[in-house]
A and B are shown apart, each in its own frame.
Chain A
Amino acid sequence: MKLELSGITKRFGPLVANRDIDLVVEPGEIHALLGENGAGKSTLMNVIYGLYRPDGGQILIDDRPVTFSGPGDAVAAGIGMVHQHFMLVPVFTVAESLALGYEPTKGMGLLDLASARETVRTISERFGFDIDPDAIIEDLPVGAQQRVEIIKALSRDAEILILDEPTAVLTPQETDELIEIMKQLREQGTSIVFITHKLREVRAVADKITVIRRGAVVGEASPESSESELAGLMVGRDVHLTTDKEPARPQDETFSVEGLTVLDKAGFVVVDDLSFGVRQGEILAVAGVQGNGQTELAEAIIGLREPHSGTISLDGRRLGGDSVKARLASGIGFVPEDRSSDGVIAGFSIRENMILDQYDRPPYASGLALKPAVIREKALEKVEEFDIRLTSIDDPISTLSGGNQQKVVLSRELGRELSLLVASQPTRGLDVGSIEFVHKRIIAERDAGTPCIIVSTELDEVLNLADRIAVMYRGRIVGIVPADTPRDALGLMMAGVPEDEALARVADGSAVTTVSQAAEGDLP
Chain B
Amino acid sequence: MSTVAPDRTPQPRDPSSGPGGAAAPAAAPVKQRAWKYPVVYSVLALASLLVFGLLAGGGKQTTFTFASRNDFFTIPPLPVPSKATCVALGLVLVVLAAVSIWATFTRRRLGVWFPLLFGIVFVFAFLTWSAAGAGRMPVTALLAGALALSVPLIFGAMCGLVGERSGIINIAIEGQLLAGAFLAAVVASALQNPYAGLFAAPIAGALVAVVLTFFAVRYWVDQIIIGVVLNVLVVGVTSFLFSTVLTQDPATWNARQQLPNLPIPLLSDIPVIGPVLFNQNILVYLMYVVVVALQIFIFRSKWGLRMRAIGEHPKAADTVGINVNRNRVLNTLLAGAIAGLGGAFFTIGSGLAFGKEMSAGQGYIALAAMILGKWNPMGALFAALLFGFSKNLANVLSAIGTPVPSQLLLMLPYVVTVLAVAGFVGRVRAPAAEGKPYISQ
Contact = CB atoms under 8 A, between A and B. Distances in A.
Interface in B404-441: 427, 432, 440-441
Contact of A268 (B19, B29, B302, B315): B29
Contacts of A101: 306, 317, 320-322
A9 interface: no
Given A75-B321, A289-B13, A92 B32 contact: no
B312 A91 contact: yes
A144 B9 CA distance: 14
Q: Which of B27, B30, B320 has the most CB of A within 10 A?
A: B320
Q: Which of B9, B15, B312, B319 counts the most chain A CB atoms within 10 A?
A: B319
A91 B376 CA distance: 14
Contacts of B308: 89, 91-92
Contacts of A92: 305, 308-309, 312
B302 A496 contact: no
The contact size tier of chain A is: 35 or more
Interface string A73-91: 0010000010100111111
Contacts of A272: 27, 29
Nearest to A472: B12
Given A110-B300, A173-B18, A289 B9 contact: no
B109 interface: no
A20 B441 CA distance: 21
A269 B12 CA distance: 12
Contacts of A141: 13-14, 17
Contact of B13 (A83, A86, A143): A143
B17 A174 contact: yes
A109 B303 contact: yes
A99 interface: yes
| Residue of A88, A292, A496 contacting most chain B CB atoms (<10 Å) | A496
A71 B23 contact: no
Contacts, number: 165
B20 A474 contact: no
Nearest to B33: A267
B356 interface: no
Contact of B312 (A83, A90, A143, A144): A90
A476 interface: yes
B301 interface: yes
A96 interface: yes
Interface string A275-293: 0000000000000011110
Contact of B20 (A90, A142, A290, A495): A495
A143 B15 CA distance: 11
Given A91-B308, A103-B302, A266-B5, A495 B316 contact: no
Interface string B282-311: 000000000000001100111101101100
B27 to A, nearest CB: 5
A289 B12 contact: yes
B305 to A, nearest CB: 6
The 3 closest A-B pairs by CB, nearest first: A101-B320, A72-B321, A291-B11
Interface of A: 49, 51-52, 70-72, 75, 81, 83, 86-92, 96, 99-103, 105, 108-111, 113, 139-144, 171, 173-174, 176-177, 263-264, 266-270, 272, 289-292, 473-476, 491-492, 495-498, 501-502, 505, 511
